[in-house]
Structures are given as C-alpha cells and as structure tokens.
C-alpha cells in the first residue's frame, strides 16, 4: 500500500509539472501545445537537443525555475523506483494481493495463531492430515519455515481485522499457541465474539490460566508443560507401554491412525451391538470409545449398542478406517 501511494504521488507530481510547463511556454513563448509540451519534456529531462529553446526573458526565467524542480522530482522518482526494485517490494505487494484473494475463497480451513515451538508441531500435524492452514504471526521470517501452500498473515492475532482477514467467520477451527496466556485469553474472547460456533483450542502455560481460557470460550485447553511432565513420568514408570505407543503413532507407522466417525441416520448399524457387528474381525480396527451426547463411553463393552449420531473413536490402519467410515 505504501508503494502504491508513492507511485501515485510521483505520477501526479510529474503530470502536474509537465502540464504547468506546457501552459507556461504556450503563454510566454507563444508556442502551440505540442511545441510547448516538447520544450517542457526536453527541459524537465535535461536532454538539451537544442532544436527548441526559450527565446524570451520570461521563458528563460520560467525555465530557470522549472529545471531545478524537475530535477528534484525526477531524482526522487528514480530513487523510489530503484529502492522498490532492490527491496523486492513489488513482488511482496503482489504476493499480498494473491494471498488476500486466496483467503477470501477459503472455507473450513484451520487458523493457527503463533508459530513457536508448540505452534510448529500443530502446523505439522494439520498439514500431515491434508488440512488447509492459515498461520498468523508477527514475525515475517516464519514464512521460510512454511510449506508453499500455507498462507501466512503477518500481524497481531488479537486484532479483529487480522482474524477477519484469516477467514475466522468461515474457518473450521482455530488453535492459539501464543507464549503469553493473557494473549491466548484475548484471542479466544475475540474469536468467540466474531464466530461463536468456531472450535477453539488454546494453549496454557500456567495451570491457573486453564479455567480462565475455558471461561473465555475455549473448547479445549492444552497445557504443554503438564502433558510433557506426565509423559516423562510415564516414560520412566511404564517405558515399554510408552515405547509401543510411540512406535505405532510416531515412529514411521503412518498407516495407523485414530479417527472420529459419526454414525449417520442411513447406517445399517443403528441399534446393533459391537459384538453383533463383529467389527474387530471384519475390519481389523478397534473401537476405543463412544461419544453419545454428553456421555463418553470408554473402552465400550462388546454388548454396547451403536446408535445414530454416536461418535466412534476408532484405532487401526488408515485404509481399514476409510472402509469402516464408509460403512458407518
């Protein structure tokens, strides 16, 4: 935007100067418009062809005033143009316009506020699951760490305008991982004010901040320090179990995954038990939990019946999960 204003200013000054020069020579030198324009341009650019020169005293005095002003404007124009090219401002402005067009078309994407150590992990997981991500961060250097398909908004995540540009009204969810708990509270409050249906997951560094974030409207609050401490304790108390979980979920076995599958109204599984459906034998996957309204059934019994609207938390190979989801 700054470059655009400078270019407009240069154009207006140059046009005004040439117009004044042409009109001045028409009256002082008694020339027609074209000859006056020619003399003005030759004088302004200090070309000095010699085919047209002011002959009257008024014309000469007018030229003495015109040339220094013209040199100043031309020098300023060349300096701005050179600086713009060297700094790559044109390409930056073009990228901004292109990004804004992409943002205006986005729907059901995820917004990530803050690209620190925690934010980077969130970003990698969202990208691994082929989700569209918009990153908001104050640091422009973050762009070098992002995939080409990821959109970066350089700005303040607590600002309404920045969140609206990121498409908060049409997003599927937002994760705020800013290092300051107060900022995460403010982002949550702002987001819920703009779109109260949006799922918000917030980071908390202090345990006392978790309740504040929930009151602010966060659907989930994650404390990395708390989770990290529990993980370290379990690693020394139950090393084999933790190693197994790491092997399945992180150490190269990307075919395995955990999915949430909603049982549709057209599903033939309605009011049938897990045992009756023989899910483990047919699909090779395991139902580890069922979310039914406000109730959460952990490690459901084989005689547990499945109903329309149930959210099944299942674990298994990705290909088998996809087949299972189609059936559900």
- What confidence tens digit (pLDDT) does each residue in 170-181 have? 999 999 999 999
Q: Is the CATH number 3.40.50.12780 carried by domain 2-87?
A: no
Q: Which has the higher per-residue pLDDT, 260 or 193? A: 193
Q: How many CB atoms lie within 10 A of CB 29?
A: 20
Average pLDDT over residues 143-160: 80
Question: Which letter, b or e, does each residue of 208-236 get, where b requires 16 or more Cβ atoms within 10 Å of its Cβ?
Answer: ebbebbeebbbeebbbeeeeeeeeeeeee
Kindly report the average pLDDT of the chain as a whole number: 81
Token pair for residue 227? 């989770």
Is the confidence at residue 32, as pLDDT, over 90?
no
pLDDT at position 265, please?
77
Tell me the pLDDT band of 3, cut-offs 50, 70 and 90.
low
* pLDDT value at 69 more than 90: no
Most confident of 31-45, 64-78, 161-175, 226-240: 161-175
**Which of 43-52, 63-72, 202-211, 237-246 reaches the highest mean pLDDT?**
202-211
Could you say which architecture CATH assigns to the domain 107-222?
3-Layer(aba) Sandwich (3.40)
Cβ 10 vs Cβ 77: under 8 Å: yes
The CA distance from 178 to 153, in Å, is 15
Lowest mean pLDDT among 40-44, 94-98, 278-282, 323-327: 94-98
Q: Where in the chain is the domain with CATH 3.40.50.720?
A: 107-222
Q: In 195-317, which residue ranges form alpha helices assigned H by DSSP? A: 207-216, 224-237, 239-249, 274-277, 279-283
d(CA 55, CA 66): 15
What's the pLDDT score for residue 198?
A: 92
Give the CATH architecture of domain 255-327: 2-Layer Sandwich (3.30)
Average pLDDT over residues 12-35: 81
- Model-level pTM greater than 0.75? no
Which pLDDT belongs to residue 51? 63
């Amino acid at each position: 935007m700054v470059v655009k204003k400078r270019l407009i200013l240069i154009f207006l000054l140059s046009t005004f100067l040439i117009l004044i020069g042409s009109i001045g020579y028409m009256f002082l030198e008694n020339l027609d418009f074209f000859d006056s324009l020619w003399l003005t341009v030759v004088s302004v650019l200090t070309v000095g062809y010699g085919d047209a020169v002011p002959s009257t005293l008024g014309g000469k005095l007018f030229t003495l005033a015109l040339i220094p002003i013209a040199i100043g404007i031309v020098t300023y124009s060349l300096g701005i143009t050179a600086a713009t090219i060297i700094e790559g401002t044109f390409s930056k402005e073009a990228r901004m316009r292109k990004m804004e067009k992409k943002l205006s078309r986005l729907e059901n994407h995820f917004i990530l506020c803050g690209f620190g150590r925690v934010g980077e992990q969130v970003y990698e997981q969202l990208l691994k699951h082929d989700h569209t991500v918009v990153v908001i961060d104050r640091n422009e250097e973050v762009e070098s760490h992002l995939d080409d398909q990821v959109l970066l908004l350089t700005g303040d995540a607590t600002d309404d305008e920045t969140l609206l540009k990121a498409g908060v009204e049409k997003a599927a969810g937002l994760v705020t991982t800013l290092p300051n708990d107060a900022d995460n509270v403010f982002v949550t409050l702002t987001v819920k004010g703009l779109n109260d249906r949006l799922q918000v997951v917030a980071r908390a560094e202090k345990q006392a901040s978790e309740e504040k974030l929930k009151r602010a409207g966060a659907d989930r609050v994650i404390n990395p320090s708390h989770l990290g401490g529990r993980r370290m304790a379990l690693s020394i108390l139950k090393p084999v179990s933790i190693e197994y979980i790491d092997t399945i979920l992180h150490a190269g076995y990307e075919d395995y995954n955990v999915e949430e599958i909603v049982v549709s109204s057209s599903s033939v599984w309605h009011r049938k038990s897990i045992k009756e459906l023989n899910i483990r034998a047919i699909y090779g996957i395991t139902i580890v939990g069922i979310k039914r309204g406000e109730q959460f059934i952990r490690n459901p019994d084989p005689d547990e019946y499945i109903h329309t609207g149930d959210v099944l938390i299942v674990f298994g190979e990705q290909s088998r999960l996809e087949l299972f989801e189609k059936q559900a």
